[in-house]
Amino acid sequence: MSEDRPIDNAAVPETGDEATAPATEPAEPAEPAGRRRLTTLLAIAAVLFGLDLLTKCLAVALIDPGESVPIIGDFARFTLVRNPGAAFSMATGMTWLLTLIAAAVVIGVIRIGRTLRSLWWAIGLGMVLGGALGNLVDRIFRYPGPLQGHVVDFVAIGWWPVFNVADSAIVCGAILLVALTVFGFEPDGTRSGRKHTGEETA
């Protein structure tokens, strides 16, 4: 008398294509988000740095000191100013200290950029980095000498102090970073309070 027994599939040898098919190769890991954000940060900084350098060279070559070139009447104009101070002609007697601060900002932004996961933080820090590099190059290489160089400013709007592309990038980037902080957007891509609220709801 024979007994019906279930067939053990593990004991049946594989035949045909199933036996000869090569094992599927594991997919290559995607590029880390932090590396992509750092690339974005550096790209934005490079564009702004290049734009700042180009416009300063054109201002020095085309505008005479003291000359005012109107853009929109007397409200907006080009005028060449050598600024020994910070953005918008502040702290004019502390050029060497401002140079060291700018160098520290550049190093700090690059260190933070290596851990970024947020696109908006990468944009804001890229703007700050590009502007800081633009003015730092002036302080190192322009007259009257290293760490004492005067920054080239050439845009005058209304009553606002004369500024340049680097100043605009620093201020706009700083405003963006403050807004991100106020609204709870973290550099790692999360939003503060969201996780806690979700746990309470669950």
- Under DSSP, the state recorded for 201 is H
Residue 108 belongs to what domain range? 38-183
Closest C-alpha among 131, 143, 156, 168 to residue 53: 131
**Active site includes 52?**
no
Structural domain contains residue 199: no
Dihedral of alpha carbons 171, 172, 174, 175, sign: positive
- pLDDT, tens digit, for every residue of 124-153? 999 999 999 999 999 899 988 887 889 999
Structural domain contains residue 25: no
**Active site includes 167?**
yes
Percentage of the chain lying above the pLDDT 70 cut: 73
Give the chain's domain count. 1
Structural domain contains residue 94: yes
169-179 average pLDDT score: 96
Structural domain contains residue 202: no
Structural domain contains residue 10: no
Q: Of 17, 138, 153, 188, which residue is the catalytic one?
A: 153
Q: Of 4, 138, 167, 188, which residue is the catalytic one?
A: 167
- Spatial distance between the Cα atoms of 164 and 87, rounded to a whole number of angstroms: 9
Structural domain contains residue 33: no
- DSSP secondary structure string for all residues of 125-183: HHHHHHHHHHHHHHHHHSTT-TTTPPEEEEEEETTSPPB-HHHHHHHHHHHHHHHHHHT
Widest distance between CA atoms in the chain: 115
Q: 199 pLDDT band (50/70/90 cuts)? A: very low
Structural domain contains residue 12: no
pLDDT at position 75 is: 92
